[in-house]
Structure 1
Amino acid sequence: MASSRSEQSEQSGRSESARPGPARRASRAKPGYQRLSPDERRGQILKVARRMFTELPYAEVSTAAIARETGVQRGLIHYYFGTKRELFLKVVQHLTATAAVQAPPPDEHLTLPETVELCVDLFLDTAEANAVTWFAALDAEGFGRDPELLRIVHRFRDQTVEHMLAVMRVPEPTETLRAVLRVYSGLAEAATRQWLQDKSLDRDQVRTLLTRSLLSMVTDIAPALERD
């Protein structure tokens, strides 16, 4: 049912009121247009939306522009995703899921300092590639403090903490250590802003700040808090 409706939506957006002749059909043909399954079309739209939300602030992106870039009618964007807000939430969900999947598996051959450097490098790579979208998500820019968006961000922070614990091979992490790592995630976000938005620090400086801070939090600060 959904598949047939989606195909009708695409066909109706391209139809004309009068039956076109051969020359008119040729002029209407979109170069590079492909008939895709509903799942493939959703993926194509999501890919274009993610790129546009990454390159531009939320307020400067429209569903009409996304439709033009994708080569579909605007109505198809709304059919698959609803409003621009709902599409943006899907983009943020996809971004956080991709970042979570990229977390490296534990490597027993690496020392703790080397593992910490690996975690920080991965975080910086992800932040640099998706800076505009990520900061828009953190600030809930364009539509206020959206509860669903905040749930996505908080869930991602919790997942990031669990990935860090797994990569650093912490066998039985305490709630104190988890809390310390949540505090560290706030530091990481603030440091990234100084690098990518304010330009007051460069990447190497942020890398040094975050690696040394994380190592200190895990080996010194968290144990000291647990002894108190």
Structure 2
Amino acid sequence: MGGGTATSASGRPAPRFQRLSRDERRDQILAVARRMFTELPYAEVSTEAIASAAGVRRGLIHYYFRTKRELFLEVVRELTTRVAYAVQPPPKGLSLAETVEWCVERFLDAAEANATTWFAAVDAEGFGQDPELMRIINRTRDLTVERLLKLLELPDPSDTLRAVLRAYSGLADAATREWLQQKSIDRKQVHTLLARSLLALITDIAPAVERN
């Protein structure tokens, strides 16, 4: 009978094709892809499934992103850029120790909000050690280090300090994984670990490394 609502093979209403601008359509596909890559291993996500969930034709995904790999890389690129620049400057008048505490707290906020997608990107089961993915992740760590140096207002940071802070980012990744995935420590404990480690690295360990 005419006038009924179309349904998919699963019995649910079929997604309606909405008239959106080019940027809106691209953002819509990215949002669906971000959710699906978070929920499922990379190998189990198809462009056909993304298109169906987004209510678009599969050809549009290839039009905007060419391949599933390129779409996944764009999801990771968007997330990492957003997280790297998410932290706003701390309140004025804080000591270095207080600023470190404040920065770690903001980092934990971002980690809690985006951890599932970030871990999906880092692990990327079925994606392999893709050079472009590694470049995105390494660039994100570099951006995060530069952002941290700016927030801490450290005078004339050296290349050695930057290297030490990049090493610290590995500790931060491992600590958040213990907190959010393994549940072996809680947020207060991971905050203590990261804040005290960062302060020690800046005030004691990095200068000692610099002298050697």
Query: TM over 0.5, yes or no?
Result: yes
**CA 1:27 to 1:221, structure 2 compared with 1: closer, same or farther past 3 Å?**
closer
Q: Which structure 2 residue ranges, 5 or more long, are not aligned?
A: 8-12
SS in 2 for 1:164: helix
Indicate the residue corresponding to 2:191 in structure 1: 207
Does the alignment pair 1:66 with 2:45? no
Does the alignment pair 1:195 with 2:179? yes
How far did 1:215 drift? 0.8
Bigger CA radius of gyration: 1
Q: Structure 2 CA distance, aligned partners of 1:106 and 1:195?
A: 24
Does the alignment pair 1:56 with 2:35? no
Q: Structure 2 CA distance, aligned partners of 1:158 and 1:210?
A: 18
Note the aligned Cα RMSD (angstroms): 2.3
The number of residue pairs the alignment matches comes to: 207
Runs of 4+ in 1 over 6 A off after TM superposition: 28-31
Q: Which structure 1 residue ranges, 5 or more long, are not aligned?
A: 1-21
How far did 1:118 drift? 2.1
Indicate the residue corresponding to 2:130 in structure 1: 146
How far did 1:65 drift? 2.1
Does the alignment pair 1:97 with 2:81? yes
Indicate the residue corresponding to 1:45 in structure 2: 29
Q: Structure 2 CA distance, aligned partners of 1:94 and 1:197?
A: 22
Could you tell me the percent identity over the aligned residues?
66
Q: Structure 1 CA distance, aligned partners of 2:103 and 2:165?
A: 13
Q: Structure 2 CA distance, aligned partners of 1:37 and 1:86?
A: 21
Alignment partner of 2:121 out of 137, 149, 162: 137
Alignment partner of 2:103 out of 105, 111, 119: 119
Indicate the residue corresponding to 1:222 in structure 2: 206
TM-score norm. by structure 1 comes to 0.82
SS in 2 for 1:170: coil
Does the alignment pair 1:176 with 2:160? yes
TM-score norm. by structure 2 comes to 0.88
Check whether the contact 2:15–2:54 (CA below 8 A) recurs between aligned residues.
Answer: no
